[in-house]
Amino acid sequence: MTHDQTLSRMVLVLVLVALGLLQACAEQTDPWHEDANTGRWYTQELVAQGEQVYQTHCANCHGAKAEATPQWIKPDADGLYPPPPLNGTAHAWHHPLPMLKKTINEGTTGRMPAWQDKLSDQEVDAVIAWFQSLWPDQGYLIWQRRHKH
Ligand code: HEC
């Protein structure tokens, strides 16, 4: 191989690596990229996808409209907490996006299962988008203000 050929190969490899990095960045969801219509971080497509994920995997515990359990503050006889509502009436809005993702991916020491082996990153984003779409604007704005850096 001539010197020139080696050089052009190296350039080609570098360009491919750079393109890969660019693509990886573009694929990350930016929580503070606001949708022009709703002012929220997610698109309506993501919400629609999230609804499917939610109804398949989460509704049996958290309720079809993410309203369960009304008595979420009270632990059961084993001292474990029931599934809280995710519709904005309970505690979820106290948590920033990375923490919501972590809870969903890893579960809790209580009765919340871990989802990281069953759902993709995109599906976890989507399910959060779906339950956040149930939050009233005021709650969403407080959450956003609190957790935006
Ligand atoms: C087997 C029942 C069950 C299923 C299925 C389940 N959860 Fe949970 N989830 C719980 C329980 C119980 C808690 C409270 C755990 C605790 O306090 O330790 C919880 C807590 C959470 C929290 C934390 C809320 C907060 O206010 O801190 C989030 C977020 C959550 N679940 C999302 C989901 C999502 C999304 C799915 C579906 C992918 C799901 N859960 C499926 C039982 C479940």
Residue 8: how many other CB atoms lie within 10 Å: 11
User: Which residue has the CA at smallest separation from atom 30 of ligand 1?
Assistant: 104
Pick 16 or 100 by higher pLDDT. Answer: 100
Pick 10 or 73 by higher pLDDT. Answer: 73
So what's the pLDDT on residue 82? 96
Residue reference for tokens 């009765």? 111
Residue reference for tokens 């009270």? 74
CB distance 124 to ligand 1 below 6 Å:
no
In the numeric block, which tokens belong to residue 88? 């904005």
Distance (Å, rounded) from C-alpha 83 to C-alpha 109? Answer: 13
CB distance 101 to ligand 1 below 6 Å:
no
Distance from the alpha carbon of residue 83 to the mean position of ligand 1, in angstroms: 5
User: Which residue has the CA at smallest separation from atom 34 of ligand 1?
Assistant: 58
Question: Per-residue confidence at 24, pLDDT binned at 50, 70, 90?
Answer: low
